[in-house]
Structure 1
Amino acid sequence: MKYRTIATMQVSALGLGCMGMSEFYGATDAAQSLRTLEAAYHAGVTLFDTAESYGNGDNERLLGRFLAGRRQRVQVATKCGIVREPGQYERRIDNSPAYIRQAVEGSLARLGTETIDLYYVHRIDPNAALEETIGTLADLVDAGKVRAIGLCEVTPATLRRAAAVHPIAAVQSEYSLWTRDPEDGLLEACAELGTAFCAYSPLGRGFLTGKFDAATPLAPNDFRSFNPRFTGENLQANLKIAETVRRLAAQKGCTPAQLALAWLLAQGEHVIPIPGTKREAYLRENLGAVDLTLTPVEVAAIGAALPPGIAAGQRYSAEGMKGLNA
């Protein structure tokens, strides 16, 4: 494993997104997920990403089972700010100090730990004072409940405003070969401020792996079944993107997933992709990207073949778009 830096922490160059182990991507299997977490740990993965809203806390509980006896050798990132009713996709955004304090206590209990390594504001509440939100998190750092503060889906201006109150260790936003929004100043702002950038959905929710079969319907409890990029005319247009990634990967002698992740790793030493999977085979495939070297010419060629704005459709449904790029 190779390593990168978040605040004072050395973390694996690829983290593991745990969301799909509990919700959003069809059937779940706790035993299978625990085996995948174990395999990630033994392969050198140290950064594990979750949130209180994933599975109504079940994802944190699952990760807590895995963490027992390993806590000092890994870093845990979790989040607050998205509030959902169990089993419902609809959400509201809450950044109130009372909610944040209650949320962190809940996460600590479910994870079975005394300190959260990286605590993100999952979405920014436009009706809350950002300085008060960051000040509340800073108090949690002073209390030893949180080691470092992160923000999700923010603009460069919001990041700089927050960093004026307290150092922001990491920003987490969607970033991949079909979602390149962070290139519009956010990656640069992170580098300028010494803030790590954690890229979620770096494989386009599985689409960029080439394993997505448009002829096979998605399960009703798979949120991609109502994601604009996976339906109708958008889907047909986006299949050309997956084919381009397959072609480029074949030229490089790697899998599409490895190419997509290696391209992200090449965007800067502060970029840390966190691909999610609940299957050990996909985990091992993804980890192969760490040893895949792309030359600057190859990085540029891949980016040119899949330019910003190439994907058809919004990243989420209207409900999921709440709080993005805030």
Structure 2
Amino acid sequence: MTKRSINQRPVKAVGLGCMSLSWGYGTLPSREYATTLLNRALDLGYDHLDTANIYGMGHNETLIGEALKGRRQEFFLATKMGIVIEGEKRGVNCRPENIRRCIDESLARLQTDHVDLYYMHRRDRDVPIEESVGAMADLIRQGKIGSIGLSEMSAETLRRAAKEHPIAAMQTEYSPWTREPEIAVLDACAELGTTFVAFSPVARGVLANGVQDAGALTDKDLRRMMPRFNLENWPANRALVDAFCEIASELEVTPAQLSLAWVLSRGEHVVAIPGTASIAHLEENIARADWTIPAEAAARIDALINERTVHGPRYSEAMQRTIDTEMFA
């Protein structure tokens, strides 16, 4: 598969987001199945795994540590800190003392002495970004992390952070269905030599044709809280998906493969980390990773699905206030 790089380390263009093995999209796989899936990922050639300390409140990191014990040298490992959940309350803490505490807890769960990439999961508006980045730079000097990443932050914040220390990666949601990175962050990453890591590159399963009826999503599925899946917006969005699937059929790829190819076509500094709790989807996502989307097809997708045609914002107003990314008017 095509290689790109994070912090000058080559990685496959398609990595694996591990969140859905522990949290987020309804019914979770058994630990046995999740262990099999993670090992199958490495066997298939996945070499970039992404997790976070809040995925299942430590469950995901623990799962990776146990499932891939003895295979740590086979993959680039990224995790995140900063989001704090206490009961129903959710906040952000990127103070230096919390950063230091969280990395030690993550390393213990992951059963490793270092991670290759450590993200601030969200911006802490009570702490200067330079102060948080400085604390993370100390972790590099201590050998606990290999590089620094930011998640769901703006181009302005990225530039401020990069003046303190080089930023290896910026992770933000990106697909034909979510275009906000095109406002400024994609270009800022290219300018600064920062890899753009696209999460939800198949639009939370939508552009994999994985959501037929949004009303049937379970109570534990986080998509139920997203405006694009409500009764008002979903019918129009589902019509976009049907047209997208027709393009995929014409090109003889699956909808998921088409969405991934579109994301990867946006720049050589872009990598994608689709998540899945299905071994079949794991295999599908990597099977055509070297396929290049024709320019004409990319243009059709751009015209079909974009910030003007998708109905509803990606987050509720309350959730949007917790992130630092640019928004379309």
Tell me whether the two structures share a fold, i.e. TM-score over 0.5: yes
- Alpha carbons of 1:65 and 1:313: their partners in 2 closer, same or farther (altered >3 Å)? same
Letter in 1 for 2:10: Q
Contiguous gaps of at least 5 residues in structure 1: none
| Structure 1 partner of 2:92 | 93
1:65 lines up with 2:66 in the alignment? yes
Structure 2 counterparts to residues 12-51 of structure 1, below 5 A? 12-28=12-28, 29-51=30-52
Q: Deviations over 1:262-315 (max 9, x none)?
A: 011111111111000011001111112313221233322322222334221221
Distance 1:225 1:210 in 2: 17
| Structure 1 partner of 2:78 | 77
Distance 1:297 1:238 in 2: 22
| Structure 2 partner of 1:55 | 56
Contact 1:46 1:74 in 2 (8 A): yes
Letter in 1 for 2:20: G
Structure 2 counterparts to residues 1-326 of structure 1, below 5 A? 1-28=1-28, 29-85=30-86, 88=88, 90-214=89-213, 217-321=216-320, 322-325=322-325
Identity %: 44
Distance 1:107 1:319 in 2: 28
- Alpha carbons of 1:198 and 1:21: their partners in 2 closer, same or farther (altered >3 Å)? same
Distance 1:120 1:21 in 2: 20
Structure 1 position 85, deviation (Å): 2.8
Structure 1, 39-48 or 24-33: larger mean CA deviation? 24-33
Letter in 2 for 1:79: K
Distance 1:137 1:59 in 2: 22
Distance 2:200 2:103 in 1: 24
Structure 1 position 12, deviation (Å): 1.4
Structure 1, 107-116 or 304-313: larger mean CA deviation? 304-313
Q: Deviations over 1:205-244 (max 9, x none)?
A: 1111113121761111111122211111111121122112
Letter in 2 for 1:139: D
Structure 1, 46-55 or 294-303: larger mean CA deviation? 294-303
- Alpha carbons of 1:161 and 1:122: their partners in 2 closer, same or farther (altered >3 Å)? same
Give secondary structure in 2 for the equivalent of 1:232. Answer: coil
Distance 1:33 1:246 in 2: 29
Structure 1, 239-248 or 304-313: larger mean CA deviation? 304-313
Letter in 1 for 2:54: S
Distance 1:324 1:243 in 2: 32
The two structures, once aligned, show a CA RMSD in angstroms of: 1.4
Contact 2:215 2:231 in 1 (8 A): no
Distance 2:25 2:16 in 1: 15
Contact 1:24 1:223 in 2 (8 A): yes
Letter in 2 for 1:93: V
Distance 2:244 2:256 in 1: 9
Structure 1, 152-161 or 215-224: larger mean CA deviation? 215-224
Letter in 2 for 1:5: S
The TM-score with structure 1 as length reference comes to 0.96
Contact 2:178 2:306 in 1 (8 A): no
Contact 1:245 1:260 in 2 (8 A): no
Structure 1 position 260, deviation (Å): 0.4
Distance 2:120 2:101 in 1: 14
Distance 1:61 1:300 in 2: 42
Give secondary structure in 2 for the equivalent of 1:164. Answer: helix
The TM-score with structure 2 as length reference comes to 0.95
Distance 1:190 1:140 in 2: 23
Distance 1:319 1:33 in 2: 32
Contact 2:38 2:68 in 1 (8 A): no
Distance 2:206 2:94 in 1: 32
Structure 1, 74-83 or 224-233: larger mean CA deviation? 224-233
Q: Deviations over 1:132-152 (max 9, x none)?
A: 011000001111111000001
Contiguous gaps of at least 5 residues in structure 2: none
